[in-house]
C-alpha cells in the first residue's frame, strides 16, 4: 500500500500554458519546484520526488463527458495524486501497475469517494498502456531531468 507522507505543492507552483492535452485540457507548467513524499508499507521505503520548473501536467486525464461523474481535471483536493501519477508515468520510476496502485491508494487516503476511485483505477488499468508507452507531453528523458527521485531505506 502506498501512503502520501507529505508535499510542498501549492497552486502557485503551476501556470497555464498555450498547450492542450488530447482531451482538450489546458496543460499547466511547473514554475516553482515542489516535493512529494510517499512511502510503501510493503517495502517500508520512503521516496521523495522533487518536481522542477518546466514539467508539464494535464491534471487528471478525465474525458469531459465524465467530469460530472468523476470530477474536474484540476480539482485542488486531489491534484497531488494526479500529478504524482503523471510523474510516475512520465519517468517510469515505478512500474505501471505500481503507478496505478499508488494513484488508487493515495486517492482513497485523501478522501476521494471509493466508487469514483474504483472507476479511476479501472480506467487507468484499461486505457493507460498507450500513455505509459509514449508519455506526453514530455519524453521520458526530459521528464526524468525535471523530476528528481530520492529513496530512503527503512531504519
- Dist. CA 124–CA 8, nearest whole Å: 26
**Into how many domains does the chain fold?**
1
Q: How much is the pLDDT for 107?
A: 95
Average pLDDT of 101-130? Answer: 94
Contact 74, 68 (CB under 8 A): no
Angle at 116 between CA 110 and CA 122, to 5 degrees: 110
Q: What is the value of pTM for the model shown?
A: 0.89
Q: What is the pLDDT of residues 5-44, one digit of tens each?
A: 999 999 899 999 998 877 677 889 999 999 999 999 998 8
Can you say how many angstroms the Cα of residue 53 is from the centroid of all Cα atoms in its chain? 16
State yes or no: pLDDT of 140 exceeds 80.
no
Where residue 136 falls among pLDDT bands split at 50, 70, 90?
low
Query: Which residue, chain included where needed, has cell 508507452?
Result: 133
pLDDT above 70: percentage of residues in the chain: 93
Choose from 60-74, 120-134, 136-150 the range with maximum mean pLDDT: 120-134
pLDDT of residue 9: 94
Burial class from Cβ neighbours inside 10 Å (0-12, 13-18, 19+) for residue 33 reads: middle
Expressed as residue numbers, the domain containing 111 is: 2-152
61: CB partners within 8 A, 6+ apart: 21, 23, 25, 73, 131
List the grid coordinates of 128: 493507460
Mean pLDDT score across all residues of the chain: 88
79 compared with 143, residue with greater pLDDT: 79
Q: What is the mean pLDDT of residues 94-112?
A: 95
pLDDT digits (tens, 9 = 90+) for 35-65: 999 999 998 889 999 999 999 888 888 877 8
Please tell me the predicted confidence (pLDDT) of residue 75: 87
Q: Where on the phi/psi map is residue 149: left (φ > 0), alpha (ψ -120 to 50), or beta?
A: beta
Amino acid at each position: 500500500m502506498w501512503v502520501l507522507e507529505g508535499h510542498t505543492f501549492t497552486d502557485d507552483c503551476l501556470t497555464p500554458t498555450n498547450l492542450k492535452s488530447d482531451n482538450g485540457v489546458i496543460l499547466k507548467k511547473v514554475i516553482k519546484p515542489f516535493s512529494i513524499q510517499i512511502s510503501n508499507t510493503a517495502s517500508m521505503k520512503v521516496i521523495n520526488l522533487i518536481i522542477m520548473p518546466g514539467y508539464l501536467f494535464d491534471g487528471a486525464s478525465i474525458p469531459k463527458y465524465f467530469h460530472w461523474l468523476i470530477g474536474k481535471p484540476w480539482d485542488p483536493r486531489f491534484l497531488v495524486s494526479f500529478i504524482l501519477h503523471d510523474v510516475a508515468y512520465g519517468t517510469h520510476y515505478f512500474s505501471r501497475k505500481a503507478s496505478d496502485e499508488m494513484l488508487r491508494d493515495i486517492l482513497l487516503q485523501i478522501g476521494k469517494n471509493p466508487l469514483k476511485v474504483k472507476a479511476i483505477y479501472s480506467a487507468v488499468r484499461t486505457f493507460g498502456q498507450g500513455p505509459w508507452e509514449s508519455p506526453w507531453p514530455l519524453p521520458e528523458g526530459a521528464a526524468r531531468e525535471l523530476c528528481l527521485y530520492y529513496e530512503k531505506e527503512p531504519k
